[in-house]
C-alpha cells in the first residue's frame, strides 16, 4: 500500500462503551480527568446509578449499535451504595455474557470490573487494558 493510501485510510479507534455506576467507579473516572490521565480514543462512558440497575438488553444493544467492547465498572464488593447492586451486577454479567456468546460475541469483548472511590489511576489502567484486550480488527 502506498504511503498516501495509508494516510487516506487511517486505522479507526475501537468503539468502547463503559458503563460506570454513579459512585465509586464514576469518581474514579472523575479523578482520572482531574489528574489529566487520558483514556484511549473511542471510549464512551455512560453513567448509571448502580451497575445492578443494568439490563442485559441494554448491554447487548451497545454491541448491536457497533460497540467493539463493553466494560462494566462498579464499586468493589461490599462497597455498593445500594448494598447488593454489585453482586446483582455479577449475575447480570454472567447472563449477558452467555447471551453474547450465543450471538457470536467473543467473551473478551465484555468485562466486569471494580474501581475504588477516586482511584483515577486504576480506572484508567483498567480501561486501557480492556481496550488492548478487545482484540478486534479495527481497520476500516
- The three cell numbers of residue 88 are 446483582
Q: Counting contacts by CB under 6 A, is residue 81 touching ligand FES?
A: yes
Among 15, 16, 23, 110, interactor with ligand FES by CB under 6 A: 23
| Lookup result for grid cell 467473543 | 106
Rounded Cα distance, 25 and 8, in Å? 38
Q: Which stretch binds ligand FES (CB under 6 A): 18-26, 36-44, 55-63, 126-134?
A: 18-26
**By the rule CB under 6 A, 50 interacts with ligand FES:** yes
Q: Is there binding between residue 75 and ligand FES (CB under 6 A)?
A: yes
Query: How far apart are alpha carbons 29 and 26 in whole angstroms?
Result: 5
Specify the residue, 54 or 67, whose C-beta has the smaller distance to ligand FES. Answer: 54
Question: Strand order of the sheet with strand 110-114?
Answer: 43-48, 16-21, 69-74, 110-114
Residue numbers of the site for ligand FES (CB under 6 A)? Answer: 21, 23-24, 50-52, 74-75, 80-82, 85-86
Amino acid at each position: 500500500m502506498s504511503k498516501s493510501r495509508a494516510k487516506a485510510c487511517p486505522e479507526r479507534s475501537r468503539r468502547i462503551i463503559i458503563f460506570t455506576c454513579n459512585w465509586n467507579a464514576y469518581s474514579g473516572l472523575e479523578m482520572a480527568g482531574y489528574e489529566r490521565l487520558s483514556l484511549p480514543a473511542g471510549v464512551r462512558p455512560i453513567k448509571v446509578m448502580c451497575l445492578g440497575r443494568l439490563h442485559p438488553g441494554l448491554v447487548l444493544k451497545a454491541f448491536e449499535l457497533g460497540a467493539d467492547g463493553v466494560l462494566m465498572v462498579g464499586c468493589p464488593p461490599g462497597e455498593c451504595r445500594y448494598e447488593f447492586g454489585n453482586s446483582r451486577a455479577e449475575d447480570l454479567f454472567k447472563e449477558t455474557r452467555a447471551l453474547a456468546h450465543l450471538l457470536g460475541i467473543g467473551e473478551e469483548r465484555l468485562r466486569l470490573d471494580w474501581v475504588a472511590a477516586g482511584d483515577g489511576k486504576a480506572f484508567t489502567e483498567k480501561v486501557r487494558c480492556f481496550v488492548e484486550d478487545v482484540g478486534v480488527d479495527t481497520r476500516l
